[in-house]
Structure 1
Amino acid sequence: MREMRLHNVRSAGGAYLLVLLASVIAGPASAAKPSVYYPVDRVICDRKAWVCYDPFGASVPLTKAHLGNQAANLLQQRMTNAGKAWNPNHFVLSNGIECFVAKKVCFVSAGSEEVDPEATKQLFGNR
């Protein structure tokens, strides 16, 4: 009977099987992971952008430590390709929070004047 079920799943198509396996392996917890998170003090990581930041801006070593080699390599490539256009003093996270390294502050959204106290304290340790 078990063999028959497996045969039926296989005949339903490889894509269906891959989706089914991915959902079983990932489980409901992975869907609840926020794109922006704080792995350790003074670090903010953004899963959607594949980058981690410290109080000095984007960090290849921290990105590698928290998001893996592929993310670190991509970040390094983006920084290299941007050259002098790369701005280490300003970034916007995928959840909309905007941070200014020189000012040591993060705002709730791009262009906002409302300080995000949680992100600011996490990254810069002040406010």
Structure 2
Amino acid sequence: MFAPEHGIICDQKAGFCVDSFGISMEFTKMYLGEESQEKMLKMIDEVGSDNFDPLHYSFSNKVYCDSGERVCYQDRFNETKQADFNAVLFEDKE
């Protein structure tokens, strides 16, 4: 996982990038490549766009984020806030 710039986190293992608005196809393509973007689009097509929620996602390290609520947790079942991820995604750059 890496943060190519403030406000963006990319997870090579999971194959997507996010910003404060959720999973971003544009940033996925920009930082992980067209192949990663195509895999995400195929997955969305398989589950159906009505069933894909870009606001709620888990990274490969199990950190779970809710972009609608603007918060990341240790994992989906542990509501301990994940400070590092929250700082990158949801705290304005000073």
Check whether TM > 0.5: yes
Counterpart of 2:72?
106
Q: Return the alpha-carbon distance in structure 1 between the equivalents of residues 46 and 84 of structure 2.
A: 32
Q: Which of 5, 25, 30 is matched with 1:60 structurally?
A: 25
Q: Which runs of 5 or more residues in structure 1 are unaligned?
A: 1-35
Partner of 2:80, secondary structure, is coil
Q: Which of 46, 55, 58 is matched with 1:81 structurally?
A: 46
Q: Which runs of 5 or more residues in structure 2 are unaligned?
A: none
> Cα offset for 1:81?
2.8
Is contact 2:23–2:55 with CA below 8 Å preserved after alignment?
no
- Identity of paired residues, percent? 27
Aligned-residue CA RMSD in angstroms? 1.2
Partner of 1:96, secondary structure, is coil
Partner of 2:81, secondary structure, is coil
Deviations 1:91-124 (A, max 9, x none): 0100110000111000112211110111011111
Q: Which of 69, 77, 85 is matched with 2:34 structurally?
A: 69
Runs of 4+ in 1 over 4 A off after TM superposition: none
1:93 aligns with 2:59: yes
Deviations 1:60-85 (A, max 9, x none): 11011110110011112222332200
Give the greater-gyration-radius structure (CA): 1
Q: Report the AA paired with residue 100 of structure 1.
A: D
Hey, which of these two has a bigger chunk of helix by percent?
1
Q: Return the alpha-carbon distance in structure 1 between the equivalents of residues 41 and 32 of structure 2.
A: 13
TM-score relative to the length of structure 1: 0.67
Hey, which of these two has a bigger chunk of strand by percent?
2
Q: Report the AA paired with residue 46 of structure 2.
A: N
Q: Report the AA paired with residue 27 of structure 2.
A: L
